[in-house]
Structure 1
């Protein structure tokens, strides 16, 4: 059983939804990002999604774009991102880690080398938003062969035929993007999320995580009532940003972000009581 399978099985046994948290590797610097990632499980994160810094994060909104710029300016690289994962695994062998990013850096490194290195470092899954299902042989299938779950995004415009295609090689969980557009843009209604999750669950036995637009513990709790996990990224990134001074980490940067994660986790954990 993979870490993702074990985590969602444990959540189901507990009768609760999970919290998936997103941070960008190297934001605002690698040491601070590493300390933050290591603190996430204790703050209540069930799954950690780590962004691989890239110059053109097309699916991301202003907050995460700025995080990518800060990380790259601070010297973040794909190798250093993998090193962060490896460092995390020295003290935590149970919390699943999903690497999120874009195909260009992976292609530059070499797909076979990347998937092997990612697995060896301790990653459990990938979200690569610019690789369509029609091109699964490019990255998805090599990733699955290496033991990495390939997690697909489902949107409000994904029709039944497309959903069947996308689900073919999806693993780990399904990520439902609750609003059209970039990360951090707007929020979906509770009814819309409920209907979408129900539709997706008719097409797959995989857990369904819902993200985009979740900013508060109340919003996370509302999603947790109907989905297997709530995904929060931009709100955490903005907490990091507000603690910086001249773009650099301060003594309160890590705690500022972790305090929000604790609040979000409390909302998620109390949603089904």
Structure 2
């Protein structure tokens, strides 16, 4: 399913988007697949992290998840396999890869995008690819009908923001804080102000990530943005139940994961009620 179609569907239902994230293959391929199926149950758009040895935009929680996934044998080709499985089982859930550029470069831009398309991927987030160097990948994504999703932050200049908005599609990934991913205590006022500023310049949906870790954050963010992206707080549940690259007490793990995901999705619905 296209990302644009999903946002139209959510608008009709008067809901905001909940975008959960996990690292593919954490702590191993099979356990990861089950966790992603739970994400598909409650998430509107699913963000799949392809593990990388040097994830510069990510905090310690996701770095450790990347390490676990790589140690248990996860590869980009297996990430395509996971995406294909999820796309066939949940065709109504747009899938997005969070992938570092080195992986795309090594595979070849066109080859990577073509495989992503064949696997049912709707969008790519490449956190270490600056808009100024994105022309080639941007054109290939356009050719295959995949959204190239750019990140903006409170530090993004007006000039750079305009460059990003010219190329962006799918949605804008608004980083809520300066720095790396990880849980934060509250949503800062400056974050809300800069989201409003970006909204004035584009009709694309704006989804906020980095530091969103509980229902209250989701509610707060979704009063002004079009969706909330949650990563580290979900990854921490995987970490909590992992021992020796396996999920222990699977039933309890899935129950805790489900309750947490449900509360976050509920936050996107209550945000509309609070706003109205």
TM-score, normalised to structure 1, is 0.95
Q: Deviations over 1:247-271 (max 9, x none)?
A: 4212133333232111111122111
Alignment partner, residue 218 of structure 1: 216
In the alignment, is residue 25 of structure 1 matched against residue 24 of structure 2? Answer: yes
Alignment partner, residue 111 of structure 1: 109
CA RMSD across the alignment: 1.4
Number of residue pairs matched by the alignment: 271
Alignment partner, residue 270 of structure 1: 270
In structure 1, C-alpha distance between the alignment counterparts of 2:80 and 2:7, rounded to whole Å? 24
Q: Deviations over 1:181-236 (max 9, x none)?
A: 00005356353233122111121110000111111111111111111001100000
In structure 2, C-alpha distance between the alignment counterparts of 1:51 and 1:4, rounded to whole Å? 17
In structure 2, C-alpha distance between the alignment counterparts of 1:70 and 1:149, rounded to whole Å? 29
In the alignment, is residue 74 of structure 1 matched against residue 50 of structure 2? Answer: no
Alignment partner, residue 4 of structure 1: 3
In structure 1, C-alpha distance between the alignment counterparts of 2:226 and 2:5, rounded to whole Å? 13
Alignment partner, residue 183 of structure 1: 181
Question: Does the 8 Å contact 1:32/1:254 carry over to 2?
Answer: no
Question: Does the 8 Å contact 1:190/1:222 carry over to 2?
Answer: no
In structure 2, C-alpha distance between the alignment counterparts of 1:137 and 1:272, rounded to whole Å? 37
User: Per-residue deviation at 1:77?
Assistant: 0.2
In the alignment, is residue 93 of structure 1 matched against residue 94 of structure 2? Answer: no
Instruction: After TM superposition, list the pairs within 5 Å mapping 1:15-164 onto structure 2.
Output: 15-42=14-41, 44-164=42-162
In structure 1, C-alpha distance between the alignment counterparts of 2:63 and 2:168, rounded to whole Å? 26
Question: Does the 8 Å contact 2:219/2:267 carry over to 1?
Answer: yes
User: Per-residue deviation at 1:79?
Assistant: 0.2
Alignment partner, residue 254 of structure 1: 254
TM-score, normalised to structure 2, is 0.94
In structure 1, C-alpha distance between the alignment counterparts of 2:166 and 2:186, rounded to whole Å? 26
In structure 2, C-alpha distance between the alignment counterparts of 1:197 and 1:235, rounded to whole Å? 22
User: Per-residue deviation at 1:15?
Assistant: 1.8
In structure 2, C-alpha distance between the alignment counterparts of 1:217 and 1:137, rounded to whole Å? 37
Give the 4+ runs in structure 1 shifted more than 6 A: none
Q: Deviations over 1:157-201 (max 9, x none)?
A: 012111001112111000100100000053563532331221111
Gaps of 5+ in 2: none
Alignment partner, residue 227 of structure 1: 225
Q: Deviations over 1:37-93 (max 9, x none)?
A: 122232x21110000110000000000000000000000000000000101122111
